[in-house]
Chain A
């Protein structure tokens, strides 16, 4: 595909294209004439050398600090390509074209000279390209292409207009989300997905947006795009081109694999029960304000932990540890009760040390501290190690029954479900607060009866908090 342009330039290998200077110093026509030169005929598409434009203040060179793209990536106009730095000024270089990156001319930390090529971009090889080039001089703004539709100027780049044309879309009907009402490629795709009711391929350019997204956000984006299955007459049936994404298991997740594999070597048995929380709910509501006055948030967890500790005093085998060869049991003196916490990093289990010596309020203070450290990702080894028994409040997120996995070197664990209402004998819903609890224990040293009696004791403390007061240490 040859471009006729009054023989201005000789056809040389790798001839560069001088893209329009952003400061508009050169006249438009000479620019258009200097424009698009092709490499050898028969190539898939014209490759333009995108040069590092003038940054201002007479700066001649910059350091390339970070690339947002790599060779082979697709870019759209205005996507960020790289960050360069010069003398305390940080500059984001954005792409002027849609296309595929073919070559990066500089490595990170190398010095780039203004006016030299930064990247090579291969654009789409359509007939339309040459026509657009010839048309642009007539437009007033080099960045946008205006289209007069129904008296409103609709701003959209040539690539977006082409996409709209291919899909028979009127730009005036598309909701614009870009700056100054500009229509972006995403807007066309959104419009299409609403019309056809089909799942459209996710924007391939997501890959190069810094920082690189993990699988979860892009999956969520896809879900947002796919509307509920209303079928309408479609003109196109887009093909789903989403790809599976594989990544190696790293760091924390690898460690979890090890822990859980070791955990499931323990023979587990489960035991579940219901606890009538009505009295505890009343007690807590009475004490909540007092705790707030002391600056501490009081949840149910301190009660659960203290009741567990009182139970462990009666059934110390649940607070024990089995050695590697299953030769000896160590009965731990301290009740370091762990709390399963969902943090941004994943599941962490910090523990409250020596619950047997703490009052409900002390436990609440500790829990507040651990919770704030957990959310800011600052839990240290001392908080995370040394646990002897664990309680998991999964019900705060949801669920009733669970089969919790024991965390070695412990031998038992409890999972608390959410609090549900109850029907009475007349079939009416009464205001009762019922919570389900699921215990697991190491069957090598703990039998069902022990677990059952411990659970009954724990349950009785919570159903009648007054009795707990009697035994509190």
Chain B
């Protein structure tokens, strides 16, 4: 029976461990360290520290290229937020590549009613997300690549980031004419927009993200990003519509995978990195503690719609009145998604005045959203005795009103 005293240095202390058995000393030491480390982690003697951050700290000092395994817009946006909050980027830069299932994404201070065709999106089941960076509205689908450049605030340089993309594309297909503009867009043949940018600056970390149209569904893109709501006046950041084109339309041999690899390689070269591509699953709470909460927050009505700056809506619609063509006039003031002022004018012959007044008062303070309004109408119609005729009129009014929302 072999007995040995193995000296192990762990946690800034030296341990002398007596070991029995015919073991190789080196293996023995390695095994002890492994066991102790596992024990350490399990008993949580380590302060709460994300394993992903730790991984980066240990291995890839100067930076890395990351790729998200998720195609859920909320999970990916939450990942961006999480990286910004938790990863130390003082001396490091990261590039995150991600793609999503069809979704519309508006900028931090935009008005979704003004930017998107919400009815079409509801019909097709296309979700709406509001990102934390500024800028305009975009449409994502699997034919669109998103790239996020994370740096410290000192290293924040959008033109440099765009140069990486344009040079990668130039290397891949020298015949392609892609150029970055002053407005941080990338134009194809100086005419068609293939990429738009937005950025977010936090306390110490900044990120700049941009899209890149490879093979997106252009008809759905223009359908979704068209507003159907007439009569909105607001100071929200407007989108600047531009003619777009897919890279694959210009060169059918290109696809998203090829382009993502090219950009990643160029990034690695330009930043002098040595690590491979890291795949990230944004649903892993253990590796990214707190990311689940971030994902949930991005999906709440209060964030997506409730962050809309104040706007007014003035519109009118015809009603089927017996003899004369009549109109219903609608004026509303909506702030942070809540109706602050409401004026509903209906010909008194068509609908009793007191009912009109009742709706006016009830709508004030409720959310500017079709389901809330429908619930309101139903509740009122229950509270007031109904004839069939009146019921039909109320339904009609409600339908017209919710169409605006």
Which A positions have Cβ atoms within 8 angstroms of B?
A: 22-23, 55-57, 65-66, 78, 83, 85-92, 94, 108-109, 176-177, 179-181, 211, 248, 250-252, 254-256, 258-259, 261-263, 323-324, 345-346, 348-349, 377-382, 384-385, 407-409
Contacting residues, chain B, for A377 (C-beta < 8 A): 301, 369, 371-372
Q: How far is the CA of A227 from the CA of B373 in the complex (A)?
A: 42
Contacting residues, chain A, for B88 (C-beta < 8 A): 180
Chain B: residues with Cβ within 8 Å of the partner, total of 72
Is the Cβ of B375 less than 8 Å from the Cβ of A108? no
Among B109, B133, B338, B379, which residue has its beta carbon within 8 angstroms of that of A65?
B109
B245 at the interface (CB under 8 A from A): no
B134 at the interface (CB under 8 A from A): yes
Is the Cβ of A261 less than 8 Å from the Cβ of B383? yes
Q: How far is the CA of A111 from the CA of B198 in the complex (A)?
A: 19
Binds A, one of B150-158, B270-278, B324-332: B150-158
Count chain B CB atoms within 10 A of each CB in A57, A94, A108, A252 and give the residue with the most.
Answer: A252
Contacting residues, chain A, for B198 (C-beta < 8 A): 88-90
Is the Cβ of B201 less than 8 Å from the Cβ of A90? yes
Is the Cβ of B302 less than 8 Å from the Cβ of A211? yes
Q: How far is the CA of A325 from the CA of B50 in the complex (A)?
A: 68
Contacting residues, chain B, for A323 (C-beta < 8 A): 385
Is the Cβ of B108 less than 8 Å from the Cβ of A56? no
Is the Cβ of B134 less than 8 Å from the Cβ of A378? no
Q: Show 16 residue pairs from A and B whose CB-CB distance is below 8 angstroms, ordered by the A residue.
A: A66-B309, A85-B134, A86-B134, A88-B133, A90-B134, A92-B200, A92-B201, A211-B303, A211-B306, A255-B376, A259-B383, A262-B382, A346-B375, A349-B378, A380-B371, A381-B377
**8 other contacts beyond A90-B109, A378-B122, with CB at 8 A cut-off?**
A65-B309, A87-B183, A88-B198, A89-B201, A90-B133, A179-B86, A254-B365, A381-B398
Contact A90/B375 with A251-B367, A323-B385 known, Cβ cut-off 8 Å: no
Is the Cβ of A90 less than 8 Å from the Cβ of B132? yes
Count chain A CB atoms within 10 A of each CB in B157, B301, B375 and give the residue with the most.
Answer: B375
State the Cβ distance, B91 to closest chain A Cβ, in Å.
15
Contacting residues, chain A, for B200 (C-beta < 8 A): 89-92
Is the Cβ of A92 less than 8 Å from the Cβ of B202? yes
Q: How far is the CA of A258 from the CA of B359 in the complex (A)?
A: 12
Is the Cβ of B379 less than 8 Å from the Cβ of A256? yes
Is the Cβ of B199 less than 8 Å from the Cβ of A385? no
State the Cβ distance, A237 to closest chain B Cβ, in Å.
31
Contact A85/B370 with A56-B206, A323-B385, A384-B378 known, Cβ cut-off 8 Å: no
State the Cβ distance, A139 to closest chain B Cβ, in Å.
17
Is the Cβ of A177 less than 8 Å from the Cβ of B371? no
State the Cβ distance, A259 to closest chain B Cβ, in Å.
5
B374 at the interface (CB under 8 A from A): yes
Q: How far is the CA of A254 from the CA of B391 in the complex (A)?
A: 20
Among A57, A109, A181, A345, which residue has its beta carbon within 8 angstroms of that of B375?
A345
